[in-house]
Amino acid sequence: MKKSLLLTCFLVAAPGLADAEMSVFACEPEWASLATELGGNLLQVESATTGVQDPHYIQARPSLISRVRRADLVICTGADLEAGWLPLLLRQGNNAKVQAGQPGFFAASDYVNMLEKPQVLDRAQGDIHPFGNPHIQTDPRNIGLVAEALNQRLQSLDPANVATYEARYQDFRARWSKAIDGWSARLEPLKGAKLVVYHRSWVYLFTWASLVDVGALEPKPGVPPSSSYLSELLARLKDQQILGIIQSSYQPTRPAEWLSERTGLPILILPHTVGSVSGVTDLFSMFEVLVSELEATAAGTAK
Amino acid sequence: MGWCRLSVAGSRKVLRAKCGDFYMNRWILAAVVLLAAPAQAQVTGNAFNPAISLILDGKFSSYSGDLDGYDFAGFPLDPEIGPPPEGLSLGESELVLSSNIDDQFYGFMTVALGDSAEGTEVSVEEAWIQTLALPAGFSVKAGKMLSSVGYHNNQHAHTWDYVDAPLPYQVMLGGALGDAGIQVRWIAPVDLMLELGAEVLRGDSYPAAGAGDSGTGTWTAFAHLGGDLGASNSWRVGLSRVSFDVAGRSYDLLADQGEFYGSGSVDIVDGIWKWAENGNTRARTLVVQAEYLKRHEDGRLDVTGDTLNGSSPYDIAQDGFYVQGAYQFRPMWRLGLRYERIHGDNADLQPPLNGLLDTSGSPDRVTAMLDYSHSEFSRLRFQVASLDNGQGSESQVFLQYIMSLGAHGAHQF
């Protein structure tokens, strides 16, 4: 006991040793969680955003500048999701290792098939993303693709620990594939179910689970719902068999409540990332809660 | 792994082939190259063009009272400083271009187009390059830039919370200190953000003049410290100094012409605190910022003209502060209050120039602002202010639009 206490003191007091672990700056909690799965205590992982923050609108805060300065690896979604703050952090953080194009910069969206690439780029369409919808993490198969690429990146950045990364990745891959099979089977009966969304941030979930998006509460991406638009939406939704309204925890609930009062549709605050709703502490529990919520709603509607 | 995956990500022309088998890999790559060839040919030069955005600004200004522009006792002003013209007017239209130059450098330029009775004025507001890959937390910026001293100084006008810059900045730094030069900045590898920096500037821009010291007339040093308090609060404080040579700064003194020779300094203490519930800036937010500026100059004023001729030692001591807040009480809507006070206390000139310049005064102004942003790219603003310059007072009313078109710029903290 005494020995371990001494060791702890020594570790805390010796910054050289603490530096042995790689410092990872994750833009979103899902990538922080994935890095922890793959790197364990070889990595010191911090997420720039929490599960209850909107990753589109983050300020390039001084604390984030200092974190980028100390990072060995920056993991972000990319595809312009962080366009409003990440470029500035990279420029102001004065860290050559993590600039775009360097091995220390990892954009998850480079490794998945992007959906909803706009044919026409016009800001009248709202805050659209030219590289496609960046909310890739709601399809668990994308997490698997990103995990594979991230594993390779970690191994090339930290060759001394290749065996550990590989073992952890193989373990994660096996558990993740098994989990996906389970979730897919449970969502099978929901195929074709119609849902209203707050923001079009669920397209990857919908594609995976074959769900149907029948309308968004936002008239255009990034434009808050107005009452006239909601009335229009209400009229459009009439006489349709809809499962519910889904949104993220950081989005205001009043528009959904307004619609729910008039239609009787249930509101589902689904976890879009780790830490976004209570009980979601890692990627596994994120999809577990997500699938359970959808299942429970379907069961409730069927009654 | 004995399987292959191939994907072509359309608009970015990113080609990927992943395959375990070496020979297979080669075949796939060859196929990719063949398939991609026609697509590549369609890539226009636009893909490598810099990010371009255009800022449009227009306003309606109304002033009641008998103050003619800014006439502050104790503050001989940069001739470019003054309130927006009365009535309808077009503000500066700014064209912003920026891009990574290669893996080592980033470039940025803002060109401002101003429209006046004399015609169209084009000015290079900023044109600089910055290193991206220096070791040990250093970066170097070179070119014409807004200095990183203080807080407000290098905020671009379209991100301001009010129509105009705070009075202390207007009277002591001519709105903002911007000049050609070199900046070195270092970020300490510690938990709190600690930024130290220094600049050598040409010394052509107010309050400096004449590019003294062989074109290195202005020196600055700054330190900023910042961090978070929980998920909802973030802060930054700073200390800065500007030290400058003045080799012939002209004053319009009615029938006479004055020129100032000497040197001076401006010290700045700045602080900003931002609150957003859980760090979500789309809902309710509060930003409070305050800065104190102190300027000191020692030198000589030469006056030549019809009514007076002479020379006198001229020392000025000025200081001032502003405190402002902006509260976003619901998405898209913000309400703000600002108080500014400046104080000039200059030694009187020696005969025969005594009494030529007002030596002291303490103007102040109270401002209220309401603005609406339909999206991140558009803003409409209503602002009222009451200005007291010591001899009289006036109320000011502004209506303004500021819109940005094009690339999605990242905003500074």
Which residue of B274, B278, B413 is in closest CB contact with A53?
B278
**Contact at CB, A130 and B11, closer than 8 angstroms:** yes
Reported as a pLDDT band with limits 50, 70 and 90, residue B281 is confident
The reported pLDDT for the residue numbered B393 is 86
Looking at the DSSP assignment, which residues form a beta bridge with residue B380?
Answer: B372, B401
Window 130-149 of B: residues touching A by CB (8 A cutoff) are 130, 132-135, 137-139
**How much of chain B exceeds pLDDT 90, in percent?**
53
* Mean pLDDT for all residues in chain A: 87
Give which of B342, B394, B353 is closest to B74, Cα–Cα. B342
B100 — contact with chain A (CB < 8 Å)?
A: yes
Using CA atoms, how far apart are residues B318 and B120, in angstroms rounded to an integer? Answer: 34
Using CA atoms, how far apart are residues B356 and B257, in angstroms rounded to an integer? Answer: 12
The CA distances from residue A130 to A88, A99, A122, in Å, are 19, 21, 10
CB B178 within 8 A of CB B205: yes
**Contact at CB, B413 and A95, closer than 8 angstroms:** no
A66 shares its domain with A132: yes
Interface test with B, best of A57, A59, A141 (most B CBs within 10 A): A59
A78-109 residue pLDDT tens = 988 998 899 999 999 999 999 988 999 999 99
Which residue of B103, B226, B405 is in closest CB contact with A62?
B226
State both tokens at A111: 């490794």
Q: Which chain B residues are Cβ-neighbours of A54 within 8 angstroms?
A: 280, 282
- The number of beta carbons lying within 10 Å of the beta carbon of residue A48 is 28
Which residue of B133, B189, B279 is in closest CB contact with A69?
B189
**Contact at CB, B375 and A126, closer than 8 angstroms:** yes
Flag whether pLDDT at B178 surpasses 60: yes
Averaged over B361-374, what is the pLDDT?
Answer: 93
Alpha carbon of A41: minimum distance to chain B alpha carbons (Å): 20
Domain count, chain A: 2
Please, which contacts does A117-122 make with residues 24 or more away whose CB atoms are closer than 8 Å? A117/B10, A117/B11
Q: Which chain A residues are Cβ-neighbours of B185 within 8 angstroms?
A: 94
* Mean pLDDT for all residues in chain B: 85
A171 shares its domain with A271: no
Reported as a pLDDT band with limits 50, 70 and 90, residue B96 is very high
Question: Is the CA virtual torsion A108, A114, A118, A119 positive or negative?
Answer: positive
B283 — contact with chain A (CB < 8 Å)?
A: yes
Least confident residue range of A149-158, B73-82, B319-328 = B73-82
Residue with tokens 């009641």: B64
A99 shares its domain with A7: yes
Query: What three-state secondary structure class fits A39?
Result: helix
Flag whether pLDDT at A207 surpasses 60: yes
- The number of beta carbons lying within 10 Å of the beta carbon of residue A273 is 28
Flag whether pLDDT at B133 surpasses 70: yes
A130 shares its domain with A78: yes
Which residue of A85, A93, A250 is in closest CB contact with B410?
A85
If one compares B25 and A229, the residue with the highest pLDDT of the two is A229
**Contact at CB, B280 and A92, closer than 8 angstroms:** no
Averaged over B37-62, what is the pLDDT?
Answer: 71
Domain residues for the domain of A216 are 188-302
A239 shares its domain with A177: no
B408 — contact with chain A (CB < 8 Å)?
A: yes
Using CA atoms, how far apart are residues B242 and B221, in angstroms rounded to an integer? Answer: 7
A153 shares its domain with A228: no
Flag whether pLDDT at B108 surpasses 50: yes
**How much of chain B exceeds pLDDT 70, in percent?**
87
Averaged over B119-129, what is the pLDDT?
Answer: 92
Using CA atoms, how far apart are residues A34 and B261, in angstroms rounded to an integer? Answer: 63
A66 shares its domain with A156: yes
CB B256 within 8 A of CB B296: no
**Extents of the domains making up chain B:** 1-48, 52-406
Reported as a pLDDT band with limits 50, 70 and 90, residue A121 is low
Question: Chain B residue with minimal CA distance to A51?
Answer: B278
- The ipTM (two decimal places) reads 0.81
A49-75 residue pLDDT tens = 998 888 888 889 999 999 999 999 999
Alpha carbon of B411: minimum distance to chain A alpha carbons (Å): 6
Q: Which of A181, A216, A237 is the last residue of a domain?
A: A181
Interface test with B, best of A63, A114, A227 (most B CBs within 10 A): A63
Nearest 5°: CA angle at B400, between B397 and B404?
160
Alpha-carbon dihedral angle through residues B232, B280, A115, A39, given to the nearest 10 degrees: 0
A145 shares its domain with A224: no
The CA distances from residue B289 to B112, B196, B234, B284, in Å, are 27, 20, 12, 17
Any idea what the CATH number is for the domain that residue A290 is in?
3.40.50.1980
Reported as a pLDDT band with limits 50, 70 and 90, residue A76 is very high
**Contact at CB, B137 and A99, closer than 8 angstroms:** no
Averaged over B67-78, what is the pLDDT?
Answer: 74
Using CA atoms, how far apart are residues A190 and A244, in angstroms rounded to an integer? Answer: 12
Reported as a pLDDT band with limits 50, 70 and 90, residue A123 is low
Least confident residue range of A48-62, B65-79, B226-240, B287-301 = B65-79
Which residue of B130, B331, B408 is in closest CB contact with A91?
B130
A21 shares its domain with A131: yes
Least confident residue range of A25-29, A36-40, A116-120, B393-397 = A116-120
Which residue of A49, A60, A123 is in closest CB contact with B412?
A60
Question: Chain B residue with minimal CA distance to A49?
Answer: B279
Question: Chain B residue with minimal CA distance to A97?
Answer: B133
State both tokens at A44: 């010191």
Which residue of A57, A86, A99 is in closest CB contact with B133?
A99
B235 — contact with chain A (CB < 8 Å)?
A: yes
Alpha-carbon dihedral angle through residues A277, A283, A285, A290, given to the nearest 10 degrees: 60
The reported pLDDT for the residue numbered B79 is 72
B281 — contact with chain A (CB < 8 Å)?
A: yes
A174-185 residue pLDDT tens = 999 999 999 999
**Contact at CB, A101 and B103, closer than 8 angstroms:** yes
Question: Chain A residue with minimal CA distance to B378?
Answer: A123
Alpha carbon of B22: minimum distance to chain A alpha carbons (Å): 17
Q: Which CATH class is domain B52-406?
A: mainly beta
Which residue of B9, B231, B412 is in closest CB contact with A114?
B9
State both tokens at A17: 């040793």
Using CA atoms, how far apart are residues B273 and B262, in angstroms rounded to an integer? Answer: 37
If one compares B208 and A8, the residue with the highest pLDDT of the two is B208
Question: Chain B residue with minimal CA distance to A225?
Answer: B331
Reported as a pLDDT band with limits 50, 70 and 90, residue B32 is very low
Using CA atoms, how far apart are residues B399 and B397, in angstroms rounded to an integer? Answer: 7
Q: Per mean pLDDT, which of A14-18, B296-300, B323-327 is the most reliable? A: B323-327
B142-173 residue pLDDT tens = 999 999 999 999 998 889 999 999 999 999 99
State both tokens at B93: 């239209």
The reported pLDDT for the residue numbered B250 is 85
A177 shares its domain with A203: no
Residue ranges with strand state E in A188-259:
194-197, 212-216, 244-247
The reported pLDDT for the residue numbered B254 is 67
If one compares A167 and B350, the residue with the highest pLDDT of the two is A167
Alpha carbon of A137: minimum distance to chain B alpha carbons (Å): 18
Q: Which chain A residues are Cβ-neighbours of B233 within 8 angstroms?
A: none
A130 shares its domain with A235: no
Q: Are strands A194-197 and A244-247 parallel, antiparallel or unpaired?
A: parallel
Q: Which chain A residues are Cβ-neighbours of B282 within 8 angstroms?
A: 54, 57, 224, 250
A158 shares its domain with A225: no
Residues 6+ apart with CB under 8 A from B42: none
B103 — contact with chain A (CB < 8 Å)?
A: yes
Which residue of B11, B139, B332 is in closest CB contact with A94?
B139
Give the N- to C-terminal CA distance of chain B in Å, as an integer.
46
Using CA atoms, how far apart are residues B399 and B59, in angstroms rounded to an integer? Answer: 5
The CA distances from residue A217 to A5, A211, A224, A229, A262, in Å, are 55, 17, 8, 8, 14
CB A239 within 8 A of CB A219: no
Flag whether pLDDT at B120 surpasses 90: no
Give the N- to C-terminal CA distance of chain A in Å, as an integer.
58
CB A63 within 8 A of CB B226: yes
Question: Chain B residue with minimal CA distance to A59?
Answer: B413
